[in-house]
Amino acid sequence: MKFKSAFLVLLFFSFFVAIAQNNSKKTSYLNARLYEKKFELIHTKLDVSFDIPKELLFGKEWLTLRPYFYETDKLTLDAKGMTIKKIELDGRVVNYNYIDQKIYLDLEKVYKKEDTLNLYIEYIADPSKVKQTASKAITSAKGLYFINPKGLDIDKPTQIWTQGETESSSCWFPTIDSPNQKTTQEISITVPSKFVTLSNGLLKSQKDHDNGERTDYWVMNKKHAPYLFFMGIGEFSVVKDEWRGIEVSYYVEKEYESLARDIFGKTPKMMDFFSEITGVDYVWDKYSQIVVRDFVSGAMENTTAVVHADMAYQTKGDLVDGNTWEPVIAHELFHHWFGDLVTTENWSNISLNESFANYSEYLWLEHEYGYDRAEEHRIKSIEAYKNGGNQLKKLVRFDYENKEDVFDLVSYNKGGAVLHMLKNYIGEQAFYKGLQLYLKENMYSSAEVSQLRLVFEEVSGKDLNWFFDQWYYGSGHPEIRISHDYNLLEKSVTVTLKQLGKEFYFPVVIDIYESGKKKRIELFVDQQEKSITFSYEEYPDWIHVDANHVLLAEFIENKTLSNYKFIFSNADYFDDRKKALLELSKHQDDKKIFNMVVSAFDDVNYQVQVLALEKIDLSGKYAKSKVIFKIEQIAKTANNNHVKAAAIKVLGKLVYFDYQKFFEKSFNDESNKVKGAALEALYYLDKESAISKAKELPDNVKKTIAYPLSKIYIKEKDKSELEFVSKYIIQGLYMSNNEETKSLFKLGFEWVSRSNNIQAFKNITEDMVAKGKQYKKYNFDKEAVRLMRGMVKEQDKLENSNKKELIIVVNEALVQLMKI
């Protein structure tokens, strides 16, 4: 909506803000009250079996609980999508009403906090009857999932699994489905004997039955929240490891049994590391991880039974290029301290779970691979937050409209960056001592962010109200314009940091590079515009604000080409060199700059090397044969496969037929990254050979190198591969940072949109729906709607024989998107 009158805008805005503030206060009040404790769970015992084809769970539950403080004769349980058969209290039938996915019980007498209630409930759980909204991080919220239940899909195994967060465990057993409840558990699971089961805690016994079924009995003796209950059922291979005598196991499909340790094998080492830095050893009885089909998110930290989406599966050719799932493995494990051991009191404080898990990815990568690798990961995380349109959201939010909305890039990515700043401010030793105190004071219980502040203050002696007020209870981050005012007569310079938006307080480090020396100044910014003046002997080569790269902020600063040359040659931090290289690469008509780009081939950081190879201009007058020879050597001998692949792509664009045998040899490389680059390079020389080799690849490799394959098929307009290409167009169009790739996949999208291929339409629309759910936090659901409407318009212009069916496919997908 646009307004022509500034006065009307002001009136509208004032009116809107007044209403919003009033509603916000009301919403905050109501959201906070939702998690007041009236009862306290003690123990949950379940006995479940299934009608798998009908997607039903038959359950018996023995629930032990007590009033939390006040006397009461009423009890309310969450129970979504169920048929309640019987409820007994201490052996007698009780009256109840089952309305709006809740069971309201009349206890017929007043119970005090010293009293214990023992409930018995028989029920049927039917996930198709569940009606609740999913989150931006989770695509569905029906709690209990039957995958290929009738066995009709020959390419997909039959599985059953659960997903409890936020409040979906009550879709498969009645409970008080709140994060501040804690209960021990036991569960008997009866399934066909061919299936393996996984649940929380330890497998105590297995009993075979004459009808071809088996009952597995799992026990969890340590308290945890109901949303962390889990069942996983299917045909899995179980690969066993251990940590200090505790079972560590990986549940994978048979095809990936030999790769399970390659994917998950660093788990015991992570358990050592996280136990060390928190000062609290891993407390649980085991640690299992399972990979399931069609999972509704990336992974979930169910206590001792973590579930991963099948994106975790990787081939040898993928893993040799780096285990892309390793940060997720670390993330879910760290939740067993932050989230499972100490749980957020309510969803408003979800930062206590997710910000720590996000930051654990950084901590692990730094420990295992070094500072640069961790920083690469953190930079991507912060960029995702900044690009996600989250500037008005607070880290602690009581004013949400839907509890699922807090699972976003603020709670995860921004929260991780805030913890990084906090660690830097109070010091590493105080930070980890604070974590230890927080965990020990609140273990097997729940907490709020204020409790986190108090332990850090107790340990460090610092007042942290200002930090938590702006970073946890406030929104956004600083936007800072940096200016330099030189006084040449007095040989002094004044550096001014002017905040363009709301005012933040923060410490910042400034490095001054002068005559080959570096001097560091620490400054605390406590006003909208802050200046500092210092003298110099020689004109500074570089004044580097936020030199330790800790502050979460946007910096606006003018730099000259001379500045970029100095930064590239002298910066210790790889991303400073990378940004300088990006600017310098635009000026390769200058011989010195061209040589600087070439010198970046030898940078110690592989990302800088790759950028240099991607940006090198071999068409200029300085592109001598020795530079090309250097690229040849990199393509043949580089230790990093990302660098080797980038070099091969450069050689491919030269269209030298002398390279054909080398490209063919590289196509057989173990690395899928190198294999894909070699295929692209070979395509420039021998299209028929490249296409022939592509079609011979096994499906799992084709999936891995889908980018280069799809690019070839799009260029060739190979209709026989349209269905394959359609699966990866959205990924290429929106997930790539390469403009040439984006442009090519845009042509691919237009190709599919104008085609007559129903399956290709199904593939691309299903992918858009899936990514619309997965990336709703980036508003991709709205972008997908726009794309689909464009597809309908394209078909309206054509006379395709399948036009009607194609438009139906799109419209069905649009309906799904509108429900997100």
Residue 25 in this model has a pLDDT that exceeds 80: no
Mean pLDDT lowest among 591-600, 774-783, 791-800? 774-783
Q: What is the pLDDT of residue 13?
A: 33
Q: What is the pLDDT of residue 140?
A: 67
DSSP string, 133-150: ---SS-S---SEEEESTT
Mean pLDDT lowest among 12-16, 87-91, 709-713? 12-16
Cβ-in-10-Å burial (0-12, 13-18, 19+) of 623 comes to middle
Amino acid in position 673: K
For the entire predicted model, the pTM comes to 0.91
In the numeric block, the tokens 């009423």 are attached to: 74
Q: What is the pLDDT of residue 622?
A: 75
Higher pLDDT, 7 or 297: 297
Q: Residue 688: CA atoms inside 13 Å, Cβ hemisphere, count? A: 0
Confidence band for 637, pLDDT divided at 50, 70 and 90: very high
220-260 tens-digit pLDDT: 999 999 999 999 999 999 999 999 999 999 999 999 999 99
Q: What is the pLDDT of residue 777?
A: 62
Cα-based distances in Å from 52 to 128, 144, 159, 253? 13, 12, 9, 19
| pLDDT > 90: percent of the chain | 78
Confidence band for 21, pLDDT divided at 50, 70 and 90: very low
Q: What is the mean pLDDT of residues 771-793?
A: 80
Residue 23 in this model has a pLDDT that exceeds 60: no
C-alpha–C-alpha distance, residues 266 and 330, integer Å: 9
Confidence band for 9, pLDDT divided at 50, 70 and 90: very low
Q: What is the mean pLDDT of residues 276-283?
A: 98
Q: What is the mean pLDDT of residues 49-53?
A: 98
Q: What is the mean pLDDT of residues 28-57?
A: 92
Give yes or no for a cis peptide into 741 (omega within 30° of 0): no
C-alpha–C-alpha distance, residues 129 and 171, integer Å: 9
C-alpha–C-alpha distance, residues 202 and 208, integer Å: 18
327-341 tens-digit pLDDT: 999 999 999 999 999
Contact (CB, 8 A) for 557 and 564: no
Residue 17 in this model has a pLDDT that exceeds 50: no
Cα-based distances in Å from 771 to 104, 305, 358? 39, 26, 21
For 799, other C-beta atoms within 10 Å of its C-beta total: 7
Residue 135 in this model has a pLDDT that exceeds 60: no
Q: What is the pLDDT of residue 184?
A: 98
First vs last C-alpha separation in the chain? 23
368-401 tens-digit pLDDT: 999 999 999 999 999 999 988 788 899 999 989 8
Mean pLDDT lowest among 81-90, 386-395, 416-425, 587-596? 386-395
Residue 711 in this model has a pLDDT that exceeds 90: no
